[in-house]
């Protein structure tokens, strides 16, 4: 078999008994790396440490992995300006977090005969948040509802990285700042 040493150097082609002897000498495991190669390739390594490191890499990869989430915001055609601003604020927050937003306008009664009101409202919302997101699917009527999907300009992983950086900056600022003052009603202990 072809043997690779503990630090990645080529030992050469050695018999199995010699490879096992070297593994005992270095107090390491003999691991078959490429069984289909001619001759098979084996490596001297600490297999427990290898498994632990690969598990930690996989865990880190899962931590940085982002799941695409579709948030939903429901509006009515005759929405009050203040309510519109509140709902728009939620849409902005979702887009900043890197999530897609499905905006649904619900029509009731006679409102169904005026779908252009809903279309104008969706266009206005899309224009208000165009710096954070784009129209992924254009407004379309679906029974009593009109639906539009907005997608974020930045990816979820980028948004998560920015949030982590901001959180670390806030934490450093708190730790580096002045110590918290004691409450007024309680005397300080000496």
Q: Output the pLDDT for position 186.
A: 54
Split at pLDDT 50, 70, 90, the class of 177 is: low
Q: Which two tokens stand for residue 11?
A: 């030992």
**Residues facing 142 on adjacent strands:** 145
Residues 83 and 139 grouped into a single domain: yes
Q: Which two tokens stand for residue 70?
A: 């579709």
Q: CA nearest 79: which of 70, 71, 90, 94?
A: 90
Residues 112 and 45 grouped into a single domain: no
Q: CATH number for the domain including 21?
A: 3.10.20.80
Q: CATH number for the domain including 107?
A: 3.30.110.10
Would you tell me how many other CB atoms lie within 10 Å of the CB of residue 91?
A: 22
62-71: buried (b, 16+ CB within 10 Å) or exposed (e) per residue? eeeeeeeeeb
User: Mean pLDDT over residues 50-60, rounded?
Assistant: 91
Identify whether 64 is part of a domain.
Answer: no
Q: Above 80 in pLDDT, residue 183?
A: no
Q: Output the pLDDT for position 22.
A: 87
Q: Output the pLDDT for position 189.
A: 53
172: left (phi over 0), alpha (psi -120 to 50) or beta: alpha
Residues 82 and 121 grouped into a single domain: yes
Q: Output the pLDDT for position 125.
A: 93
Q: Name the H helices within the chain.
A: 16-26, 47-64, 81-96, 115-128, 156-176
Split at pLDDT 50, 70, 90, the class of 176 is: confident
Residues 81 and 52 grouped into a single domain: no
Residues 34 and 95 grouped into a single domain: no
Identify whether 6 is part of a domain.
Answer: yes
User: Mean pLDDT over residues 134-162, rounded?
Assistant: 88
Identify whether 184 is part of a domain.
Answer: no
User: Mean pLDDT over residues 26-48, rounded?
Assistant: 89
Identify whether 12 is part of a domain.
Answer: yes
Q: Above 80 in pLDDT, residue 130?
A: yes
Residues 85 and 147 grouped into a single domain: yes
Residues 48 and 74 grouped into a single domain: no
% of the chain at pLDDT higher than 70: 92
Q: Above 80 in pLDDT, residue 109?
A: yes
Q: How many domains does the chain have?
A: 2
Q: Which domain holds residue 13?
A: 2-56
Q: Output the pLDDT for position 181.
A: 53
Residues 135 and 79 grouped into a single domain: yes
Strands 41-45, 145-152: parallel, antiparallel or unpaired by DSSP? unpaired
Residues 34 and 79 grouped into a single domain: no
| Nearest-angstrom CA–CA distance, 2 and 125 | 65
| Nearest-angstrom CA–CA distance, 95 and 153 | 8
Identify whether 177 is part of a domain.
Answer: no
Split at pLDDT 50, 70, 90, the class of 77 is: very high
Split at pLDDT 50, 70, 90, the class of 184 is: low
Residues 47 and 11 grouped into a single domain: yes
């Amino acid at each position: 078999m072809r043997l690779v040493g503990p630090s990645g150097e080529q030992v050469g082609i050695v018999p199995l008994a010699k490879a096992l002897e070297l593994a005992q000498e270095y107090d390491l495991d003999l691991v078959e790396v490429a069984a289909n190669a001619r001759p098979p390739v084996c490596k001297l390594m600490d297999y427990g440490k290898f498994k632990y490191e690969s598990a930690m890499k996989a865990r880190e990869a899962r931590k940085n992995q982002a799941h695409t989430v579709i948030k939903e915001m429901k509006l009515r055609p005759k929405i009050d300006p203040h309510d519109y601003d509140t709902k728009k604020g939620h849409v902005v927050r979702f887009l900043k977090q890197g999530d897609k937003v499905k905006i649904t306008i619900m029509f009731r009664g006679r409102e169904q005969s005026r779908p252009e009101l809903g279309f104008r409202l969706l266009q206005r919302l899309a224009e208000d948040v165009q710096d954070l997101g784009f129209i992924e699917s254009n407004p379309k009527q679906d029974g009593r509802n009109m639906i539009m999907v907005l997608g974020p300009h930045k990816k979820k992983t980028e948004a998560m990285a920015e949030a982590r950086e901001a959180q670390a900056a806030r934490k450093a600022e708190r730790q580096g700042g002045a110590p918290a003052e004691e409450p007024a009603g309680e005397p300080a202990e000496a």
